[in-house]
Amino acid sequence: MTSPPPDYDGIARAYRWLEYLTLGPLLQRTRTAHLSRLRTTRQALILGDGDGRFTAALLGANPAIQVEAVDASAAMLRLLHSRCLHNPRLLTVQTDARTFNPTCTPDLVGTHFFLDCLTQPEVDSLVARLTPTLAPDARWLVSDFQIPAGFMNLPARIYIRLLYLAFRLLTGTIPTSLPNHALALERAGFSLIAEQQYLFGILTSQLWQHE
């Protein structure tokens, strides 16, 4: 049985400022790290983009792209539409992205700080279910937290645990640890083709391609 999605309506308007107060521009830099590689993309499925900063950047960088943006939060989708200036190339769908079936054939899936809101079985299920609906050679763009090796391992573990605690209190997020999205993507036939890391490896932006 699928649990209810987290409720981001209450923090939607403050979300951008909460982000800047904690990590400044680093999260947006992570989201857009591979934007220049997406200029030939024609149909994107963006899951849980929050207030739409990546979607707006993608629409601005690629004048031919069509975007389907999915989020469970009506407040976040209103902010996304407003940020994208109600672009006619944008379709928004308010629903639980964990069970959503695309109405298009995407050649790009974007999940920015979204998969870390899911459990491992939910990530496995999402990737396995969406992959057959994608165009040949589709790419999957992931921005997320990770726990690096080395001297930042313990600080990263503490920081990420505190983040989960904060989001559990604010939104009802259930997971308490990072899922292994790489394992799910590899099982579905994706290979990592590009990666950028920030904040000593705690933030990662990865571009995967289906073989």
User: Between the CA of residue 156 and those of 21, 123, 150, 178, what are the distances in Å?
Assistant: 18, 22, 10, 11
- Alpha carbons 35 and 29: distance in angstroms, whole number: 10
Q: Which mean pLDDT values do the consecutive 10-residue runs of the chain (211 residues) have?
A: 76 86 93 96 96 96 97 95 94 94 94 95 97 97 96 94 87 84 98 97 98 87
pLDDT at 17: 86
Domains of the chain in sequence order: 9-210 (3.40.50.150)
> In whole angstroms, what is the distance from residue 130 CA to residue 108 CA?
11
Output the DSSP codes for 24-92: TTHHHHHHTTTGGGGTT--EEEEE--TTSHHHHHHHHH-TT-EEEEEES-HHHHHHHHHHTTT-TTEEE
**How far is the C-alpha of 162 from the C-alpha of 115, rounded, in Å?**
17
pLDDT of residue 171: 83
User: 3-class secondary structure for 193-207?
Assistant: EEEEEECCCCEEEEE
- Whole-model pTM: value is 0.94
The H or E element that residue 140 is part of is strand 139-145
Structure tokens that stand for 33 in this block: 């790290």
- Per-residue tokens: 165: 């605690």
Model pLDDT, residue 2: 64
